[in-house]
Structure 1
Amino acid sequence: MKALGKWSVEHRVTVNLIMVFLIVAGMFTAMNMKREMFPQFSLDMISIAVDYPGASPEDVEEGICIKIEEQLKSLENIKTMYSTAVEGHASVVLELDAGTDITAKLNEVRTEIDLIDSFPTQAEDPVVVEIKNNEPAIYVAVYGDVAERTLKQTAEKIRDDLVGFDEISLAELMGVREYEISVEISEENLRNFSLSFDDVVRAVGSGSLELPGGLIKTSGGEFLIRAKGKRYTGAEYEQIPLVTRPDGTVVRLGDVARVDHSAVRPC
């Protein structure tokens, strides 16, 4: 310690230069340091979500959850894995060991999920994301004496405008209801058109599908074939053909049933 003090006294210029360097380096670091009022941090967790419209919890468990668990059970660095099956939706959450490279593991999980080719035909594409802790910095409320659909469209436009700013990395909607398409049929109409309820169910189920058609290999490369026939609006569902009469006229779903495209009713 005495030697350090003696050296400092004898080399005052050097000591002053070191002090100036440390001050400048500290100021530069402070000005360029990333600062967040609500910092985002990883929870070392990965979520896999799959929508399976119209399926019961038992069908979701058997057709989605079990297949994902079987496919991922051999992966390393997975601490725990638990799944949830509810009506029309499957969720599988992976908790990773501390220190695991989350980006590499996320890509590995996506690759394994893509290898599953036995999901039900009606199941939608899996969504694999990292679970992060995102604490909102501010809430924006949208209200007014207008229709709910108008409020939702306005909120979506505000959200899209906000994420256009460089300073905003994420904006999400909260408190909005999803829309559903409901089909209401009276027994009288079924009798008038000589239809059964099962006939309508089969027609609706087969009239809105997206099916893989296989792979074509050519000298120019490989091409995936997919039949895209999924319907998204009530007006599109109304055009589903139910029966063709001998004279060539077609009875469509809109002729027999009331198709309503509105927000999901609260339970």
Structure 2
Amino acid sequence: MKALGKWSVEHRVTVNLIMVFLIVAGMFTAMNMKREMFPQFSLDMISIAVDYPGASPEDVEEGICIKIEEQLKSLKNIKTMYSTAVEGHAGVVLELDAGTDITAKLNEVRTEIDLIDSFPTLAEDPVVVEIKNNEPAIYVAVYGDVAERTLKQTAEKIRDDLVGFDEISLAELMGVREYEISVEISEENLRNFSLSFDDVVRAVGSGSLELPGGLIKTSGGEFLIRAKGKRYTGAEYEQIPLVTRADSTVVLALFLDLGLAFWVASGIPISFTALLCQK
């Protein structure tokens, strides 16, 4: 210490320059330091979600959860794995060992899930994501005496405008409901054509599907075959044949209000009365 003090006294200019450099470097670091009240950190967890519309919890467990567990149980660095089966939805959460490369493990899990080819036909594509701890910095509420659809569209526009700023990395909507089309059929129309409501449900379900058809290998390359029959609007759903008779008569589902059948918020008391017509 004496030697350091002696050197400092004899080299006062050098000491002053070092002090100025440290002050400037400290100020620069403080001005550019990332400051967060609730910092984001990795939870070392991966979520796998699969929607299975109309299925009971038992069917979801047998058709999805068990198959995912069997496929992933041999992977390394998985500390725990637990599944949740509810009506129409399956969820599997993986807790990884501390220090695991989450990005590499996420890609590995996605690859293993893609290898499962025995999911039920009506099951949606699996969604595999990392569970993160995102604490919001600010909440923005959108309200007004307007329709819920207008509120949602306004909120979506505000969200898109906010994420356009460099200072904002993520903005999410909360408290909004997804769009859906609701179908109602009168008992009189069902009796006229000797149909049950389950017959209509099966016809609508089978008439709106996207199914993989396999792989075709040729000398020119490989081609993936996929049947694209998913329907998204009321005008498309009304063309689904409910009954095809021997004399080529086809009974279609026809929506009365086509103008509103394109987008409707789930849960809103707006529905579409479908009648059966003969074509």
User: TM-score higher than 0.5 here?
Assistant: yes
Q: 1:263 to 1:30 in 2, by over 3 A?
A: farther
The C-alpha deviation readout for 1:183-209, integer Å capped at 9, x for no partner, is: 333332222113334432331121011
Moved more, 33-42 or 67-76: 33-42
The C-alpha deviation readout for 1:91-139, integer Å capped at 9, x for no partner, is: 1111112222111111111111111111111111111111111111111
Instruction: State the secondary structure of the residue aligned to 1:39.
Output: coil
Please state if 1:200 is matched with 2:200: yes
The TM-score normalised by the length of structure 2 is 0.82
Partners in 1 of 2:275 and 2:158 — Cα distance?
20
Instruction: State the secondary structure of the residue aligned to 2:107.
Output: helix
Instruction: State the secondary structure of the residue aligned to 1:213.
Output: strand
- Counterpart contact for 1:51–1:123, Cα < 8 Å: yes
Instruction: State the secondary structure of the residue aligned to 2:160.
Output: helix
Instruction: State the secondary structure of the residue aligned to 1:265.
Output: strand
Q: Percent identity?
A: 96
The TM-score normalised by the length of structure 1 is 0.86
Instruction: State the secondary structure of the residue aligned to 1:180.
Output: coil
- Counterpart contact for 1:177–1:264, Cα < 8 Å: no
Instruction: State the secondary structure of the residue aligned to 2:59.
Output: helix
Partners in 2 of 1:200 and 1:131 — Cα distance?
39
Moved more, 45-54 or 242-251: 242-251
Partners in 1 of 2:100 and 2:11 — Cα distance?
48
Who is 2:221 aligned against?
221
Instruction: State the secondary structure of the residue aligned to 2:225.
Output: strand
Q: 1:119 to 1:247 in 2, by over 3 A?
A: closer
The C-alpha deviation readout for 1:9-51, integer Å capped at 9, x for no partner, is: 2332332232233223223322333233442221111111111
- Counterpart contact for 1:179–1:264, Cα < 8 Å: no
Q: 1:264 to 1:138 in 2, by over 3 A?
A: farther
Tell me the number of residue pairs that the alignment of Structure 1 and Structure 2 aligns: 257
- Counterpart contact for 2:217–2:223, Cα < 8 Å: yes
Moved more, 56-65 or 147-156: 147-156
1:140 CA drift (Å) = 1.5
Instruction: State the secondary structure of the residue aligned to 1:181.
Output: coil
Instruction: State the secondary structure of the residue aligned to 1:151.
Output: helix
Partners in 2 of 1:230 and 1:4 — Cα distance?
78
1:164 CA drift (Å) = 1.9
1:59 CA drift (Å) = 0.9
Q: 1:100 to 1:26 in 2, by over 3 A?
A: same
Instruction: State the secondary structure of the residue aligned to 1:129.
Output: strand
Partners in 2 of 1:263 and 1:177 — Cα distance?
27
- Counterpart contact for 1:53–1:88, Cα < 8 Å: yes
Partners in 2 of 1:245 and 1:109 — Cα distance?
47
The C-alpha deviation readout for 1:122-172, integer Å capped at 9, x for no partner, is: 111111111111111111112222222222222222222222222211111
Q: Cα RMSD between the aligned structures?
A: 4.6
**Structure 1 segments unaligned to the other structure (5+ residues):** 252-261
Partners in 1 of 2:42 and 2:213 — Cα distance?
39
Q: 1:120 to 1:40 in 2, by over 3 A?
A: same
- Counterpart contact for 2:213–2:226, Cα < 8 Å: yes
1:249 CA drift (Å) = 4.3
Moved more, 148-157 or 176-185: 176-185
What are the within-5 Å matches in structure 2 for residues 145-156 of structure 1?
145-156=145-156
- Counterpart contact for 2:57–2:87, Cα < 8 Å: yes
Instruction: State the secondary structure of the residue aligned to 2:232.
Output: coil
Q: 1:265 to 1:78 in 2, by over 3 A?
A: farther
